[in-house]
Structure 1
């Protein structure tokens, strides 16, 4: 039987190896993750997440699952939105990222109101029809089987619930895309080496962005997972796209 492979950045690796390799990347960058995000995006990632929060439509008393929530920046905002009667779950497959997120939320005074769960997006450990809203920000591209993850998310959404996927995508302007490529493959790894002492992890992150499905492909994948009214909004010229779909 032919061995199944998948992409780890530009490298072709056995399917069973990818999760372990991704885990090593995030173990390495966890402590400096927020600082690196600010440097790499020049702070614009905060605007992207604020738009995601607004488009989520989350209201008081609702249930929210923040997948690949890592350091908990979106989770913290959802806690404020749902109020004391709501429920917010921070989930991530990586224990190092979860530890950083848990500590940060405790420092901000909201840790007691957040459930922290180490979970694989491909097989979420929640009953069907549990959440009003699910978000995954900059995490889907690291998942081995994206179709399985999207189907798992759709399963645990309540009828009427919505999934928001915030992820790097394909710039719309060819000239801008070339500039962006130069930045991603030459500047970004250097920042990673200077700030986090880890150029290789940030080179992988740049490659993983290029291997991620483009806007239309991801839209179709969400529809195939059973979501409806799927739409996307390009942010910063398509460097990032916010996809949203509903379960009916």
Structure 2
């Protein structure tokens, strides 16, 4: 499996833990503020991105959906409302995030439709050809081995099944790129420190975005991982990209 620059970007540079372990620890620490900071830092635009991603699956009408790096279950909950599949399974390596997600499900009465379990994108505990569709929102950037994670997700997809990925990207317009860099380099880590008492987590957000193989580079990786018909579009001046591919 190939290694990419972003695979080496970690939240805590002085830690002896693997990237996977560091990411789990980081999200456990910020879980209590994660949903609030998502809405606050994106001014709520992230909700529209998630809706657009799920609309990619409407024609497929998936019955069994896997949400990888589900976090607190935002995509899973939205997918249930928009697609009404038989069952949605969300996996994440952070038990702290999953606990908050399960409480959200209980409040919404969705615990019988959506199951959130601890799991690793690079070793998914399901049989081959188990799911009609897979979603990943802002999670592939955190994979310890990107290509391995994509290959493993393809394994559990049914033939004809679809992968939909949302991930941050870097704006190309010079003016907007300057504003974006100021926001990500200065404002985001400070807000993270103020509200979540964790500057490292939000500095890691920027560092990992800067090194992520986006756009046509990510399309090439999807092709190498065995997907067909991969494509992408940029959203909101290029600060987010929506990818899709088929098995």
TM-score calculated relative to the size of structure 1: 0.91
Preserved CA contact (<8 Å) 2:171 2:237:
yes
* Runs ≥4 residues deviating over 4 A: 9-16, 58-61
In the TM superposition, what is the alpha-carbon distance from 1:14 to its structure 2 partner?
A: 9.2
Report the CA distance between 1:232 and its aligned residue. Answer: 0.1
Cα distance in 1, alignment partners of residues 146 and 64 from structure 2: 23
**Could you say which residue in structure 2 is the equivalent of 1:125?**
125
Could you tell me how far apart the structure 1 residues matched to 2:135 and 2:16 are?
25
1:9 deviation in Å? 4.6
TM-score using structure 2 length: 0.91
Residues 81/63 of structure 1: CA separation in 2 closer, same or farther (3 Å cut): farther
In angstroms, what is the RMSD of aligned CA positions?
2.1
CA contact (8 A) 2:10 2:23 kept: no
How many residue pairs were aligned?
A: 242
Match of 1:35 in 2: 36
C-alpha distance after superposition, 1:148-199 (max 9, x if no partner): 0000011111111000110001212122112101100100111112211222
Q: What residue number does 2:108 align with?
A: 108
Compared CA separation, residues 229 and 60, structure 1 to 2 (3 A): closer
Q: Which sections of structure 1, spanning at least 5 residues, go unmatched? A: none
For 1:71 and 1:96, locate their aligned partners in 2 and report how far apart those are by CA, in whole Å: 9
Task: State the shift of 1:26 in Å.
Answer: 0.5
Q: Which has the higher contact order (CA 8 A, sep 6+)?
A: 2
Change in Cα spacing, 1:15 to 1:8, as seen in structure 2 (3 Å) is: farther
Task: State the partner residue of 2:79.
Answer: 78
Q: Distance in 2 between matches of 1:15 and 1:213?
A: 25
Moved more, 198-207 or 33-42: 198-207
Distance 1:157 1:144, change over 3 A: same
